[in-house]
């Protein structure tokens, strides 16, 4: 039996992992899909007080409260920031860190640092105009979804807290690189805000040369929400990471 902790990206919640969670649970594994403060079923907690550190603590608290060790921690999209912070704090409790088409930050970087100025300015303007300091979700078509899948995601997406977009993440690459890592890139279609991240995955100088040793990269021919569009394939990858 393996321990899986699954963390969604922006505008989503634990609900987005349902198809993966069902498969892993059926196989006898212990699975915790975390909903970050202010989104999903915790949208009633949305406020200007939420920061990146809040979301990191959401995941740390889940692992500690559930007394989990040897965790396969899978983090999607924005949650690459969260997972990197978690690995820096409690890396000794992780078996494998899986970045699912996720942010892969440098120390001292923000989530929005690699985005275009148009994207950054739009999200910040929306947050500043919101009483909860949040910005709205895009249409699921951006993630390569259509039909019932797109409708399902559209019904459940919620605005995302704004401060995590500009909060700086400080971490030790040495501590994070001590954990086995897999990066999954989703290619059909690719998401424009992830374009600056993929070159880092294959850069021998990234994290001062610490990233590539102990890491691997996998491509999935699906869109940015593979837990929705390709759950069986994603589940197989996660099971492999548990070995």
Q: For residue 38, what is the domain's CATH number?
A: 3.40.50.1820
Q: Which of 47, 77, 172, 229 is catalytic?
A: 77
| CA nearest neighbour of 79 among 147, 12, 177 | 12
The tens-digit pLDDT sequence of the chain (243 residues) is 999 999 999 999 999 999 999 999 999 999 999 999 999 999 999 999 999 999 999 999 999 999 999 999 999 999 999 999 999 999 999 999 999 999 999 999 999 999 999 999 999 999 999 999 999 999 999 999 999 999 999 999 999 999 999 999 999 999 999 999 999 999 999 999 999 999 999 999 999 999 999 999 999 999 999 999 999 999 999 999 999
CB distance 182 to 96 below 8 Å: yes
pTM, full prediction: 0.98
Cα–Cα dist 126/6, whole Å: 28
Cα–Cα dist 37/52, whole Å: 10
The domain in which residue 57 lies consists of: 3-241
| CA nearest neighbour of 80 among 104, 60, 62, 58 | 104
**Which residues are CB-contacts of 78 (< 8 A; sequence separation ≥ 6)?**
9, 10, 102, 103, 111, 160, 164
Count how many domains the chain has: 1
- 215 among known catalytic residues: no
Residues listed for the chain = 243
CB distance 236 to 98 below 8 Å: no
């Amino acid at each position: 039996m393996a321990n899986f902790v699954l963390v969604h990206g922006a505008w989503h919640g634990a609900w987005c992992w349902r198809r993966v969670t069902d498969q892993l649970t059926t196989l006898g594994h212990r699975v915790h899909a975390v909903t970050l403060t202010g989104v999903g079923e915790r949208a009633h907690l949305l406020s200007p007080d939420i920061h990146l550190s809040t979301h990191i603590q959401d995941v740390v608290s889940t692992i500690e409260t559930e007394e989990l060790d040897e965790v396969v921690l899978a983090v999607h999209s924005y949650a690459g920031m969260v997972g990197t912070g978690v690995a820096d704090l409690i890396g000794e409790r992780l078996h494998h860190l899986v970045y699912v088409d996720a942010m892969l930050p440098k120390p001292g970087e923000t989530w929005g640092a690699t985005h275009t100025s148009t994207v950054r300015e739009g999200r910040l303007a929306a947050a500043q105009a919101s009483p909860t300091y949040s910005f709205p979700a895009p249409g699921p078509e951006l993630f390569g979804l259509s039909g019932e899948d797109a409708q399902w995601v559209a019904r459940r997406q919620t605005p995302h807290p704004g401060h995590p977009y500009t909060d700086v993440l400080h971490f030790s690459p040495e501590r994070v690189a001590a954990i086995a890592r897999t990066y999954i890139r989703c290619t059909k279609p690719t998401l424009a805000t992830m374009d600056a991240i993929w070159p880092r995955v294959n850069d021998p100088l990234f994290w001062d040369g610490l990233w590539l040793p102990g890491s691997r990269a996998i491509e999935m021919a699906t869109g940015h929400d593979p837990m929705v569009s390709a759950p069986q394939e994603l589940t197989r990858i996660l099971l492999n990471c548990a070995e």
